[in-house]
Amino acid sequence: MSEKKHEALGLTDGQALDMYRTMLLARKIDERMWLLNRSGKIPFVISCQGQEAAQVGAAFALDRNKDYVLPYYRDVGVVLSFGMTAKELMLSGFAKAEDPNSGGRQMPGHFGQKRNRIVTGSSPVTTQVPHAVGIALAGKMENNNFVSLVTFGEGSSNQGDFHEGANFAGVHNLPVIFLVENNKYAISVPASKQLACEKVSDRAQGYGMPGVTVDGNDPLAVYEAVKKAAERGRKGEGPSLIEAVSYRLTAHSSDDDDRAYRDRQEVEEAKQKDSIRTFSTYLRDLGILTDEKESEIEEEIISIVNEATDYAENAAYADPETLFDHVYEE
Ligand SMILES: Cc1ncc(C[n+]2csc(CCOP(=O)(O)OP(=O)(O)O)c2C)c(N)n1
Ligand SMILES: [Mg+2]
């Protein structure tokens, strides 16, 4: 990262620090979820670890009071940036009634919160793509000037939903941003066995939109690309495809053992590029982050995560009487 890159992008020191804080909060919530899972308290975790920079960089580039996001299961950084709280995420992990995502019905990672324009998705991967395109179409028809950001993994860019959605958005010039979070694996399948083209962003050409590949470990690179894409969208210039390349630092989920298909050295090498570390170094080199500030942020985050965990653990489960709510018409 070049010196003062954030300033060149129009970000203040405070905003850059806020990005770092949000990335760290996402990481710490995720780490806590693994501990809770391994101690038998929550059933399932699917991690954001390694992808926080892409998620937070992208979300911060949007108008968080107006735009829509259609995140996928790893996007803790996106939903935190859009206003979901640590407590709400924990309520979802513990499957409690107050979980805003689904009232404790869905698996964790199925983010949805109407108040913050976070649109819920389904478990079949990539179904959120046509939804994002439809929302962009509605916004365009109503002259609302918002953009929709949809995220998905590189493996998911092989699904028909991606190709149909991208084509429709290209033909109709819709304000959608397709953000591919390329973490180099689709469960056990490495990227080299998923795509015959070199980059996921090469696919943009087939749908008449610009496609770029950026360093997904650099929140500022992702911010820059998404900002440009959002400006294009708002000016009526149509959709964009952005591929943010990073690495999945954990197993696919708490039910997966990645030792079966990738060697430890590869994971260790990826950890050297971990954005939590590299972005903190960037901020330290500029004197924006100091030892004092860092421990202040860490303490604050630990207490947020502790409070969220205690609250969610002690919260009530949904009343069985509500089992069929929103399932059948009443
Ligand atoms: C249509 C469909 N096929 C298969 C699955 C099972 N599945 C869940 S996540 C996943 C891997 C997706 O990989 P990628 O898109 O790269 O996202 P990542 O998990 O790496 O972030 C698969 C195959 C699913 N949920 N939906
Ligand atoms: Mg992947």
Q: If you measure from the C-alpha of residue 283 to the centroid of ligand 1, how many angstroms do you get, rounded to a whole number?
A: 34
One-letter amino acid for residue 311 of the chain = Y
84 Cβ contact partners less than 8 Å away, ≥ 6 residues apart: 100, 111, 113, 116, 118
One-letter amino acid for residue 66 of the chain = K
Stated pTM of the model: 0.98
Ion ligand 2: protein residues whose beta carbon lies under 5 Å: 153-155, 183, 186
Q: If you measure from the C-alpha of residue 73 to the centroid of ligand 1, how many angstroms do you get, rounded to a whole number?
A: 10
First to last CA, the chain: 56
With a 6 Å cutoff on the Cβ, whether 219 touches ligand 1 is no
Average pLDDT, the chain: 97
Helix/strand number for the chain, H first, E second: 11, 7
Q: If you measure from the C-alpha of residue 299 to the centroid of ligand 1, how many angstroms do you get, rounded to a whole number?
A: 35
The pair of structure tokens assigned to 187 is 């469960």
With a 6 Å cutoff on the Cβ, whether 71 touches ligand 1 is no
**Is the pLDDT at 305 greater than 60, yes or no?**
yes
Residue 248: active-site member? yes
Which of 64, 163, 261, 311 is catalytic? The answer is 261
With a 6 Å cutoff on the Cβ, whether 155 touches ligand 1 is yes
The pair of structure tokens assigned to 294 is 């860092």
Residue with tokens 């993994």: 153
Of the two residues 34 and 1, the one the predictor is more confident about is 34
Q: If you measure from the C-alpha of residue 238 to the centroid of ligand 2, how many angstroms do you get, rounded to a whole number?
A: 26
Which of 163, 234, 252, 284 is catalytic? The answer is 252
Looking from the CA of residue 154, the nearest atom of ligand 1 is 16
Q: Tell me the backbone φ, ψ of residue 16, rounded to 5 degrees.
A: -65, -40
The pair of structure tokens assigned to 45 is 């975790």
Residue 311: active-site member? no
Tell me which of 52, 110, 125 to substitute to probe ligand 1's pocket, judged by most ligand atoms within 8 Å of the beta carbon. 125
Q: If you measure from the C-alpha of residue 151 to the centroid of ligand 1, how many angstroms do you get, rounded to a whole number?
A: 13
Q: What is the mean pLDDT of residues 280-293?
A: 97
Q: What are the distances in angstroms from CA 120 to CA 9, 79, 106, 114, 127?
A: 31, 11, 10, 9, 10
- Exposed, middle or buried by CB within 10 Å (0-12, 13-18, 19+), for 286? middle
pLDDT tens-place string over residues 51-75: 999 999 999 999 999 999 999 999 9
Nearest partner of 158 among 174, 137, 133, 180, judged by Cα: 180
pLDDT tens-place string over residues 177-198: 999 999 999 999 999 999 999 9
Residue 252: active-site member? yes
Beta partners for residue 113, in sequence order:
118
pLDDT tens-place string over residues 94-124: 999 999 999 999 899 999 999 999 999 999 9
**Which pLDDT value is given to residue 235?**
97
**Which pLDDT value is given to residue 2?**
55
The pair of structure tokens assigned to 151 is 């995220």
- Rounded to whole angstroms, the Cα distance separating 99 from 235 reads 37
Residue with tokens 């294009």: 232
Q: How confident is the model at residue 1 (pLDDT cuts 50, 70, 90)?
A: low
